[in-house]
């Protein structure tokens, strides 16, 4: 079986732990704000949309510098970060439309599950694309 070298796994585990720390703090605050906004009558999709941009902006610098120790230029990383989080936003929005509006599931539960699911997707995108060395990134 071909696997990642032990050193690479340790780095990935350390990065994931740091990513999780940044994400947990950001998402806990964001989820509490989401519950507060929906409690006062703002719709689930509007609340998620308002808070999504705030979460993206606050986590960029922490993930760039602390989680992935990315020393590359900011501009390409910000563009890739925006694309990755744009994809996460679209997935989140579509899932809320489907599971809440069509299926009738509780938005609190759906959004809670989506936070975790999308966080894993975004970690992988950041590790292997957003904050990858610029000479190693696939040019599209």
Q: Is residue 92 part of a domain?
A: yes
Q: Report yes or no on 121 lying in a domain.
A: yes
Position of tokens 């902006």?
A: 57
Residue 1, in any domain of the structure: no
Determine, yes or no, domain membership for 82.
Answer: yes
> Which pLDDT score, from 0 to 100, does residue 133 have?
72
- Determine the pLDDT at residue 56: 85
Is residue 57 one of the residues assigned to a domain? yes
The two tokens of residue 114 are 């989506």
Examine residue 132 and state whether it is found in any structural domain, yes or no: yes
Q: Is 77 within 8 Å of 99 (Cβ atoms)?
A: no
Give the domain range for residue 89.
6-136
Instruction: List % helix, strand, coil for the chain (3-state, nearest 5).
Output: 80, 0, 20
pTM of the model: 0.75
Cα–Cα dist 96/46, whole Å = 11
Check if the beta carbon of residue 55 is closer than 8 Å to that of residue 30: yes
Cα distance between residue 22 and residue 24, in whole Å: 6
Q: Give the residues of the chain that fall short of pLDDT 50.
A: 1, 140
- pLDDT for the residue 2: 52
How many folded domains does the chain comprise? 1
């Amino acid at each position: 079986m071909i696997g990642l070298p032990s050193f690479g796994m340790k780095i990935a585990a350390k990065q994931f732990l740091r990513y999780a720390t940044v994400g947990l703090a950001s998402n806990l605050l964001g989820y509490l704000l989401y519950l507060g906004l929906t409690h006062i009558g703002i719709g689930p999709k509007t609340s998620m949309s308002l808070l999504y941009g705030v979460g993206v902006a606050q986590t960029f610098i922490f993930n760039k510098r602390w989680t992935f120790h990315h020393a590359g230029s900011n501009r390409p990383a910000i563009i890739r970060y925006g694309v990755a989080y744009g994809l996460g936003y679209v997935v989140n929005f579509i899932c809320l439309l489907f599971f809440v509006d069509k299926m009738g599931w509780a938005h609190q539960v759906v959004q809670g599950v989506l936070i975790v699911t999308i966080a894993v997707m975004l970690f992988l995108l950041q590790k292997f694309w957003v904050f990858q060395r610029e000479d190693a990134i696939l040019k599209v």
